Amino acid sequence: MNGQGIHACKASEVAPGQQKIVRINNMPIGIFEIDGDYHAMLNICPHRGGQLCEGPQCGTGIDAGDFGIEYGRRNELVRCAWHGWEFDIRTGEALADPKMKAKTFDVSIDGDDLYVHM
């Protein structure tokens, strides 16, 4: 893991499918839970600077074959409320342009305490 772990919040404060916004070193950080793992992302959209992590934690349409689309990747993405850009919470990559990335941070857990590594 990179950097010193800084206490962010309690794991019990992060409801599945609902991000928690915290401030660490005066930076807004979104904390997310996906399938029991915790992830952190800078709450600034690299597209136009919106409050990225305050958009919905969601999935997206994926190819279902034979010209079909189904809903997939449930709770693995965050959709910026400003322009609808979707970002992978784990990697920060934008679905529309993988070269555009939101800043992500490693998260560790000790008991019920979550630490973000800056």
Q: Domains in the chain, start-ordered, CATH in brackets? A: 5-117 (2.102.10.10)
Average pLDDT for 40-64? 92
Read off the pTM: 0.89
- pLDDT tens digits for 59-103? 888 888 888 888 788 899 999 988 999 999 999 999 999 899 999
DSSP assignment of the chain: --S-EEEEEEGGGS-TT--EEEEETTEEEEEEEETTEEEEEESS-TTT---GGGS-EEEEEEEEETTEEEEEEEEEEEE-TTT--EEETTT-BBSS-TTSB--EEEEEEETTEEEEE-
pLDDT of residue 42: 98
